[in-house]
């Protein structure tokens, strides 16, 4: 079982560039989430999805976009990267019958320079 897979694990992005962080899960979970973790801080919710075709904003959505065309995949798009988006990004998923059973990916460390 792969669980939640995030790619890439590390990336350096230049200011103004765009990129997509990939997240895929093989557990048929309907709930998926993107969180960011700034240095020395807790995780903050960026976007979430309760199923294919349905997405909604979290606490810190500005500068990001998401899509959920399949149950398995939940990519996070950064447009016009800014230094404030330097962070570690975590994708997570859970199943509606056990919403407390989050599975986290291993994270993507993104640096914007």
Query: What distances in angstroms separate CA 51 from CA 8, 81, 86, 89, 96, one per listed residue?
Result: 24, 27, 28, 20, 10
Q: How many CB atoms lie within 10 A of CB 71?
A: 19
Q: To the nearest whole angstrom, how small is the minimum distance from the Cβ of residue 106 to another protein?
A: 6
- Collapsing DSSP to helix, strand or coil, 83 comes out as helix
Q: What residues make contact with another protein under the rule CB under 8 A?
A: 31, 33, 35, 40-45, 48, 50, 56, 58, 88, 90, 92, 94, 99-100, 102, 104, 106-107
CB of 56 to another protein, least distance (A): 7
3-state secondary structure of 84: helix
User: Which of 77, 104 has the CB closer to another protein?
Assistant: 104
User: For residues 78 and 60, what is the distance between their CA atoms, to the nearest angstrom?
Assistant: 13
Which one, 33 or 74, has the nearer CB to another protein? Answer: 33
Shortest Cβ 89–another protein spacing (Å): 11
State which residue, 82 or 88, has the beta carbon closest to another protein: 88
């Amino acid at each position: 079982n792969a669980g939640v897979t995030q790619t890439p694990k590390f990336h350096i992005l230049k200011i103004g560039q765009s990129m997509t962080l990939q997240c895929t899960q093989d557990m048929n979970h309907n709930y998926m989430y993107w969180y960011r973790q700034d240095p020395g801080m807790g995780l903050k919710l960026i976007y979430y999805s309760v199923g294919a075709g349905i997405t909604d904003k979290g606490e810190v959505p500005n500068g990001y976009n998401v899509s959920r065309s399949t149950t398995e995949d939940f990519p996070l798009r950064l447009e016009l990267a800014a230094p404030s988006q330097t962070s570690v990004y975590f994708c997570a998923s859970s199943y509606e019958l056990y919403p407390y059973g989050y599975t986290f990916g291993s994270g993507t460390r993104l640096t914007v320079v």
